Structure 1
Amino acid sequence: MRLRQGDVDGGLATWRDFLDCADGIRSVKVHAALQDMRVRLRRYDGVPEAQELRERAIRTSE
């Protein structure tokens, strides 16, 4: 929601919090959310924190 409103910093902070909570949880819904997150963060390839979150989401979903 924050990313859609143009609040990139807030959106990235929300995704970071989600990754903190999702670590170690194995569920279909969490896996789907991680996949969705990675797709949405592609728009921000020029933002180093977004790339870091995408990489972390990959590791979390493994």
Structure 2
Amino acid sequence: DPLIDTVLILAHNPGITDVFYSLAGVQIDNVPTAGVGCIQFDTDTFKNIMESTTELEYFYYPKMDQ
């Protein structure tokens, strides 16, 4: 659907750490509890997402502030 431009993925480990590596191409050793990240895809359709250019816009978890 060309009207959809945002997808939210909710998961926990070990799967979510693998998702960050597979989709964003960045090595994150572990996505901790309550970790959140935003991956930007440069594509017009969701079906071409794996061939698109990606950028990790942010990665955050609450204990980063301690």
TM-score normalised per structure 2: 0.31
User: TM-score, normalised to structure 1's length?
Assistant: 0.32
Q: More strand per residue: 1 or 2? A: 2
